[in-house]
Amino acid sequence: MASVLAVGSLKTAGSTTLALTLASVAAAAEIPVILVDGARDADLLTWSALAGRPSLITVERVGDVGAMERLVRAGRRDGSLMILDCGDRADFIKAGARLSDRAIIPLRFSPLSAYAALATEMLLASDAKHGRRGRDWCLAASAVATIPSRVARAVEAIVSQSVASKISIGLTSRAAYEAPFIHGGTIFTLEDIKAPGLDRSRAEAACFAYEVGILGRIPRSAINSYVLLRAAA
C-alpha cells in the first residue's frame, strides 16, 4: 500500500478535489489520513474550517518545500497515510514526487490539460534518479467526460504519447465532488439533498482509491462496506 501520495500537474487540473476525494475514501474506511495543502489557493485549508470535517482527516498547510519534507518525514515515522496536494507549482510537484511512494498527475478532458500532464511527466522523469527507491508516477483523469466527443478523442490521442502508467478508473465530472468545498464534510457524510448522485460518486471514488493503492490495509470492519460501494458502481 502507498503510504504517501502526491497529486499535482503543471496546469490546474483538479488536484485538490482529487486529493480530498482520496482522503474521504480513506476516512470512510477508518484509515486516518493527513492532507498536506501545498496548492496556491489553499482550498483544503478553507475546507477544513467548515463544519463536518471527519476527525480522521487532518489538514496541514505548507508554504515551502522544506515544510513539506518535514511533515512527510514525521508522518512516515508515525505510519500515517499522507496525501500531498502540490497544485500546479513545479517545485512542489517535484518535491512531492520525491517524497511519495506514488505521484498522481491529474488531467481534465481538454487538450491543454493533457499537454500539461505530459509536461509534468517529463518534469518527474528528469528527476527520476532522486527521491525514494521504487517510487512511480501515473496519470489519472480527474473529470472524465460522460459523452464521447472530438475533444475527448483528441485528449486520448495526446495521452497515448505518455509512457507512464494510467489509472483505469477516473473521476467523472460530477457536482458531488465539489459539494464538500461548499457544504463541508465529504461525499461519504453529505446528504443527497446537498449533492445529487452521491451513491455513484462514492462507489467510483472507492474504486479509484483502490486502483491508486490506498486501500491496501483497509480494516476488516470496512470490507463489506467497500464491496457494497463497488457493487453500486
pLDDT in tens, 128-170: 788 777 788 888 887 666 555 666 667 677 777 777 778 878 8
pLDDT at 83: 97
Confidence of residue 13 (pLDDT cuts 50, 70, 90): confident
Q: What SS3 string covers the chain? A: CCCEEEEECCCCCCHHHHHHHHHHHHHHCCCCEEEEECCCCCHHHHHHCCCCCCCCEEEEECCCHHHHHHHHHHHHHHCCEEEEEEECCHHHHHHHHHHCCEEEEEEECCHHHHHHHHHHHHHHHHCCCCCCCCCEEEEEEEEECCCCCHHHHHHHHHHCCCCCEECCCCCECCHHHCHHHHHCCCCCCCCHHHCCCHHHHHHHHHHHHHHHCCCCCCCHHHHHHHHHHHHCC
pTM: 0.86
